[in-house]
Amino acid sequence: MSQPRPVTENPIKRKTGMRALTGWIHLGLCAGALALPSSAEDGPPTLFIKVQRLIRRPGDEIQNAAIIVRAGKIAAVGVDLQKPEGAREIEGAVACAGFIDPWAALGLGADSLQDLGTSGATRTVDGLDPWSNEHLRREALRAGVTVVRVQAGNSSRVGGVGALVRVAPDLPRDEAVVLGDCDVSMSVGLSTSPGGQPERMDPFERIADLDRVVSAVENGRSYLLARTEHRYELEEWQKKIAEKDTELEKDAKKAKKDREKEQKDATEKGKPFQEKKYKEDKRPQPPRYDEDNEILARVADGGVPLLVQAHRSAEIRGLLSGTAGFDRLRMILAGGTEALSCARTLAERRVVVLVSPLPRGRGDLDEYEQSSLSLAGDLSRAGVTVLLGSGGSNPGSSRDLPLLAELAVGNGFDREKAFEALTLGAARAFDASERLGSLERGKDAEILVLDGEPLSSTSTVRYVVSGGRLVVEPQK
């Protein structure tokens, strides 16, 4: 038994992969600028968006500025840009990044959404239907929500791999999916009723749920260790083989002579010649392939965030203590009705909390004493990173996310933090900040043009650009 080795290298080259991709995008942009001025036949058009106030990223604005959109990407952002020839010009008061609903149900049928038989390796993108719920998609777009995170098995104990997808209907699949593996989702203490409302349930079942989450991460880590170990063992084995080869090579002449002599002796003595055998170490075997553990290994290693839906204080505490040993794990807590009692630990452990700003009612059971509209604001003030989502059970709810964000603002959540939660914050938490969440060169063109302050009941979204296409225009 060889010694366990610390995991020093991230076996999943996610970040590098992303960088490589963006590099490719830049390259593509340059090529596009040179070769295709404005009219890639069916591709996204070139747009020139001129606004009085341009919110590049939360807390960073420029006045009287413009954006050039080309081939689906933001090609330039600045104050003295010239309108490219042939570009469509759009004017407005305020521009900002498109909103992201990180807890949505749009684009997935109820059967996939409520599937209780999902496992870690279940991929949401496999159940995605870019043509579904067209009217709901259009409503969400009109409200400024351009990208959503959807999750097969939203309320099952282990939901599988979630995806960030564009809301705009009828997109080709490769354009619809922004990131096909933005998280792995699990839940603790939800009832198995459709919609997964956290009804009263047996405490032992809840403990079993907790154990399931922790064991899954543990399995992922063991798998990761076994695989890393195998890689080192394989390297060592290959090294040994190589050494032996060199040795044999070096002594080749002598060995040849010895062999010929032995052969001759054998012939003279009338004995059969026996070839000398070299004993070779057995090639080390990799751990048995397991599709669930493949993705859980990435979770344990921090390559993919783990999203856990939990509401009760005891469950959240259990989750925090159960996962304390996994120092590379990146956790997102969804729901978190009673999360305030653990706010300090959540902040210390950098657990992101995904809040649905309008909590459900108390129900007949009067169960949650701490269900509160001020959850987002209270957590944020305690130093926790807060995201806002529409709850993931009703595909129509994404449309109302901006209203819900306003509600959170009214109940003490800082306005700029709320804006960040809907844009860059969500992109960051789900590993898409290189593509989404702000208006910066090289990012996907997800742009809103409004007639006033974003997240205000008195302003309206006039134009929406998603994936570089103009998907909402003012209705005449």
Residues that bind other proteins (CB under 8 A): 135, 139, 358-364, 366, 369, 371, 373, 390-391, 394-400, 403-404, 406-407, 409-412, 415, 455-458
Between 388 and 439, name the residue whose CB sits nearer to other proteins. 388
Minimum CB distance to other proteins, residue 37 (Å) = 40
Q: What share of residues in the chain are helix, strand, coil (percent, to 5)?
A: 35, 20, 40
| Minimum gap (Å) between residue 76 Cβ and other proteins | 33
In the bound state with other proteins, the residue whose beta carbon lies nearer, of 312 and 443, is 312
In angstroms, what is the minimal distance from the CB of 191 to other proteins? Answer: 15
Are 393 and 155 in contact by the 8 Å Cβ rule? The answer is yes
State the nearest-atom distance from the C-beta of 429 to other proteins, in Å: 22
Packing angle between helix 313-322 and helix 203-250, nearest 10 degrees? 20
Euclidean distance between the first and the last CA atom of the chain, given in angstroms as a whole number: 74
- Distance of closest approach, residue 377 Cβ to other proteins, in angstroms: 10
Shortest distance (Å) from residue 21 CB to other proteins: 34
Q: CA 20, CA 14: separation in Å to the nearest integer?
A: 10
In this complex, which beta carbon is closest to other proteins, that of residue 71 or of residue 106?
Answer: 106
In terms of Cα–Cα distance, which of 131, 37, 106 is closest to 392? 106
Residue with tokens 């999360």: 339
**Phi, psi (degrees; rounded to nearest 5) at 397:** -75, -25
Cα separation of 46 and 125, whole Å? 29
Nearer to other proteins, 213 or 455 (CB): 455
Paired sense of beta strands 158-166 and 145-150, if any: antiparallel
Angle between helices 203-250 and 291-300 (to 10 degrees): 90
Q: Which helix (H) or strand (E) holds 259?
A: helix 252-269
> Nearest approach, Cβ of 126 to other proteins (angstroms)?
25
Are the CB atoms for 52 and 93 separated by under 8 Å? Answer: yes
If the CB atoms of residues 171 and 404 are measured against other proteins, the closer one turns out to be 404
Give the Cβ contact number of residue 467 at 10 Å: 22
With respect to other proteins, which residue has the nearer C-beta, 47 or 136?
136
Q: For residues 313 and 390, which CB has a smaller minimum distance to other proteins in the complex? A: 390
